[in-house]
Structure 1
Amino acid sequence: MTHRILIVGQDPDTVDFTAPGIIPGMTADKVRAGVTASKQSLEGQGYSCDNLYVQPAPAVAETEVAAALSRATYDVVVIGAGIRNPPANLILLETVLNTIHRVAPHSRIAFNTRPDDTDAAAVRWLGR
């Protein structure tokens, strides 16, 4: 059975890269490149992997996450550091977590530390 992974991050075009909690020097292009590399790494290991960039408005993100989780069953959902780390994103993080808990309570939740270690975050929780 192929494990299925969903990567959830804030749309890089909506991120304030000067905000506290954002990795210094990070850019939208670096986010996309890191997530793409992690996704390719996971697929190269035989995993099925989808990526979802959500809008920063919690109500919109809730709808986006619920829709993605309704389309497929995921073994692991990785929540990006761009959602988790900035203090201003607390409500967005809570919204994403509670949506996963409500719509896909069987899915494991993992956290990356940067876009390019998303694959390691997902693999940590597969098969547990």
Structure 2
Amino acid sequence: MPNILVIGFDPHTIPGFDPQPVAAAIEQGSKAFAELGLAEDLFLIDFAELGGAEAKLVERLQQRQYDAVVVGGGIRKGPGLLELFQLVVNLVHWHQPEAAIAFNDNAGDSPDWVLKALEQRRNR
């Protein structure tokens, strides 16, 4: 069973943000991962604790080998988050060099992008 790490923000920690749609999409994605036989491991960053995210992410990346890692849209698209996005991608590259890296449009379509990334990795 392939191991998948999904990295994103905990929607309940973002000030002035309605977490419900994102939380529902995360749940939808988790169900789809399970249906596809993919072992999902969620790493949700507390928006209020961005400074501590690096050490926690490194710890998670060192716990097991992942076949693919998803970097969520909130980290990529949020204003003022380019430095965090770059850091997350580099940490994944440095600590999981064999993992395929996937990006999503929303939390619900993560499994689709993981399957594409895994296929791309197999074809290399």
Which residue is equivalent to 2:43?
52
Gap regions ≥5 residues in structure 1:
19-26
Against the structure 1 CA distance between its residues 17 and 80, is the aligned structure 2 distance closer, same or farther, given a 3 Å change threshold? farther
RMSD (Å), alpha carbons: 1.7
* SS class of match (2:114): helix
Query: Percent of pairs identical after alignment?
Result: 29
CA contact (8 A) 1:58 1:91 kept: no
Q: Deviations over 1:37-79 (max 9, x none)?
A: 1111111111111111013455422112111111111111001
Deviation beyond 2 Å, 4+ runs, structure 1: 13-18, 55-59
The TM-score, its normalising length taken from structure 2, stands at: 0.86
Against the structure 1 CA distance between its residues 90 and 17, is the aligned structure 2 distance closer, same or farther, given a 3 Å change threshold? farther
Gap regions ≥5 residues in structure 2:
none
* SS class of match (1:46): coil
The TM-score, its normalising length taken from structure 1, stands at: 0.83
Which residue is equivalent to 1:71?
63
* SS class of match (1:71): coil
CA distance in 2: counterparts of 1:30 and 1:104, whole angstroms: 30
2:96 to 74, 93, 104: 104
| Structure ranking higher in helix proportion | 2
Alignment of 1:36-47 (within 5 A): 36-47=27-38
Confirm or deny that 1:113 pairs with 2:105.
yes
